Amino acid sequence: MNLRPDSPSIGLMNTYFFGGPITRTVKALISINIGVFVLQFLASHLLDTNFIDVYFGLVPNSVTEHLMLWQFVTYMFLHGGFFHIFFNMLTLFMFGNEMERYWGTPRFLNYYFVTGIGAGLCSWVVAPHSTAVVIGASGAIYGLLLAYGLAYPNRIVYVNFLLPIKVKWLVLIMGAMAFLSSLGGAESGVANIAHLGGMVIGYLFLRGKDWYDKYHYFNEQRQREQLKRQFEVYYGDVRRKIEADKKKPPTIH
Split into its structural domains, the chain has a count of 1
216 belongs to a structural domain? no
249 belongs to a structural domain? no
Hey, which of 2-6, 29-33, 189-193, 245-249 has the most confident mean pLDDT?
29-33
Asked if 47 and 108 count as a contact pair (C-beta separation under 8 A), the reply is no
CATH number at residue 115: 1.20.1540.10
Give the CA angle between residues 187, 193, 194 to the nearest 5°: 110
Query: Do β-strands 156-159 and 2-4 pair in parallel, antiparallel, or remain unpaired?
Result: antiparallel
Amino acid at 151: A
Which range of residues forms the domain containing residue 171? Answer: 2-209
Segment 28-86, tens digit of pLDDT:
999 999 999 999 999 988 888 888 999 999 999 999 999 999 999 999 999 988 888 99
Q: Look at residue 29 in the predicted model and tell me its pLDDT.
A: 96
What does the DSSP 8-state code read for residue 68? -
Q: Look at residue 42 in the predicted model and tell me its pLDDT.
A: 92
C-alpha span between 120 and 73 (Å, rounded): 8
How many whole angstroms from its chain centre is CA 223? Answer: 33
37 belongs to a structural domain? yes
Residue 207: pLDDT band (50, 70, 90) is confident
Residue 243: pLDDT band (50, 70, 90) is low
Segment 81-134, tens digit of pLDDT:
888 899 889 889 988 998 999 999 999 999 999 999 999 999 899 889 988 899
84 belongs to a structural domain? yes
252 belongs to a structural domain? no
57 belongs to a structural domain? yes
Q: Look at residue 31 in the predicted model and tell me its pLDDT.
A: 96
Q: Look at residue 58 in the predicted model and tell me its pLDDT.
A: 93
Q: Three-state DSSP class for 166?
A: strand
149 belongs to a structural domain? yes
Burial (0-12, 13-18, 19+ Cβ within 10 Å), 48 = exposed
Nearest in space to 138 (alpha carbons), one of 153, 156, 161, 118: 118
115 belongs to a structural domain? yes
